[in-house]
């Protein structure tokens, strides 16, 4: 999906769900990592995470676009556009937008540690210094049992 196709999609969603036109710009921002999209108050443009433009994430993309359009239309109308505002919460529920962007990937466990005293297991993405860290349950020493397999 190109930026032009994204603008067309957002205009279509805006007209269908809000009965109002989307008259500003939108584009993909590949620097977005933990969020699905962003609405800018200064110039009213919308940025979308391109990882949600894949065909298998079409429902998530719709939820994200609806979320950002809620910010957009409420801000232009002079109503409460922030996440905590009742206007925003009410309109988001009315159109069925997503409150949060879904996680696209599950964190991979790379290191598996076991307490030598009580047997508590710890799975971590990064390697721990076993000389520095101890078990949170009993204070015993940790031992790298085996690197987790993918």
Residues belonging to the active site: 68
Contact between residue 146 and residue 114 where contact means Cβ atoms under 8 Å apart: no
- CA dist 108 and 84 (Å) reads 33
Which residue do the tokens 């109002």 mark? Answer: 20
Q: Six-digit token pair at 88? A: 């925003």
β-partners of residue 28 are 48
Helix axes 58-77, 3-18, angle to 10 degrees: 70
**For 2-129, where are the alpha helices, taking DSSP H only?**
3-18, 58-77, 86-95
Buried b (16+ CB within 10 A) or exposed e, 69-90: bbbbbbbeeeebbeeeeeebee
């Amino acid at each position: 999906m190109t930026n032009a196709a994204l603008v067309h999609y957002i205009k279509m969603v805006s007209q269908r769900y809000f009965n109002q036109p989307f008259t500003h710009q939108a584009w993909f921002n590949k620097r977005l990592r933990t969020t699905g999209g962003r609405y800018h108050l200064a110039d009213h443009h919308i940025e979308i995470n391109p990882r949600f433009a894949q065909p298998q994430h079409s429902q998530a993309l719709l939820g994200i676009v609806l979320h950002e359009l809620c910010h957009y239309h409420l801000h232009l109308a002079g109503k409460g556009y922030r996440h905590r505002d009742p206007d925003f919460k009410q309109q988001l529920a009315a159109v069925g937008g997503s409150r949060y962007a879904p996680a696209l990937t599950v964190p991979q466990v790379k290191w598996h540690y076991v307490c030598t005293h009580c047997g508590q297991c710890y799975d971590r993405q990064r390697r721990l210094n076993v000389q520095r860290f101890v078990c949170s349950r009993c204070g015993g020493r940790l031992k790298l049992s085996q690197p987790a397999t993918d």
